[in-house]
Amino acid sequence: MELRHIRYFLAVASEGSISKAAEKLCIAQPPLSRQIKDLEQELDTELFVRRPRGLVLTRAGEQFYEYARRISQLADASVEELRDMKAGLSGNLFLATVEGYAPALLAEWIAAFRKVYPMVGYELWNGNTDDVVKRVQTGLSDIAVITAPYDEEGLEGWQVWQEPWVAMLPAEHPLVKKTKNKDSVKLQDLAPYELIIPSRQSRKKEIEQWFAPLGLQPKIFCRMAHMLNAYELTAKGVGIAIYPASVQSYVNKDVVIRKITSPEVTARYILVRNAKSSLSLVAEEFWGFVMGEFLGKGQDQ
């Protein structure tokens, strides 16, 4: 006997009708009839008799009704107690993130989670994807947001956002004049100029692969982990920086943003956890919260 059999029985007893109970339970009538028959067979007794005005309980049915009602109430009370216990969830959540749009995602999730679990504390760490992945693999961080590509072995991951790659150009750069009244720049037009890119070795290979089909080799002269440093160098006219579009939150009149096209290239953000080890209770709750409240509603772009 399962809890659903109890709830089905109580619904039929309350409505006095299989059809009305089925409608209330949002299930089809034949499966509900089968469940009631299965319950009667398991108990080896009739629970209902059919009368002109509908189904009524037998004496055995009336006795079982009292047990069923108490079981249902106990189940509901258990759920409420567990919810109350969760509302008191406490502990520290260790999160890590890359730059770009990831901090905005994490801030939104934490803000929503904090409304439900106000006693949870947070320790956030920022770095490039390679460093963040190491923290997740070694248990220093519970959950993280990184950018692709990454080694998927040992990690469970879900894409949570994507945005175009852009070029940050010094305001007086020749390409700014060439692309005046446009919001994009062709990849091939970047090839003659010195570039500033993220520090990951895999990122360098990825950017070189963008240019390869065009028969071009990018002039990468500087690699760095942090967008702000890249922005400052660009503002001083040192070079052109290639970063995800969210870098525009840093810019002012000294720097111009152009979306890279021909081809368009995309930065993908991935929510990850260690697939080889269990999360703490608070981390597991946070993971489920994000997956249900945000990713389940189609936030991934």
| pLDDT tens, position by position, 132-142 | 999 999 888 99
Q: Residue 82: which pLDDT band, with cuts at 50, 70 and 90?
A: low
Helix (H, G, I), strand (E, B) or coil at 80: helix
Q: What percent of the chain has pLDDT over 90?
A: 54
> Over pLDDT 70: what percentage of the chain?
94
74, pLDDT greater than 90: no
Radius of gyration of the chain (CA): 30
Domains of the chain: 3-87 (1.10.10.10), 91-160+269-297 (3.40.190.10), 162-267 (3.40.190.10)
Cα torsion 240, 246, 251, 257 to 10°: value is 50
Q: Quick check: 104 pLDDT over 70? A: yes
Q: What is the mean pLDDT of the chain?
A: 89
Q: Which residue has the tokens 């320790």?
A: 123
- The answer, as to whether pTM is greater than 0.75, is no
d(CA 255, CA 172): 9
Q: What is the pLDDT of residue 300?
A: 40
Q: Confidence band (pLDDT; 50, 70, 90) for 131?
A: very high
Q: If you search the block for the tokens 């936030």, which residue do you land on? A: 299
Give the pairing type, strands 184-186 and 255-261.
Answer: parallel
Q: Could you give the C-alpha distances from 217 to 210, 212, 221, in angstroms and in order?
A: 9, 7, 12
131 in helix, strand or coil? helix
Bigger pLDDT: 72 vs 18: 18
Find the range with the poorest average confidence among 1-10, 222-231, 286-295: 1-10
Round to whole Å and give the CA distance between 62 and 154.
55
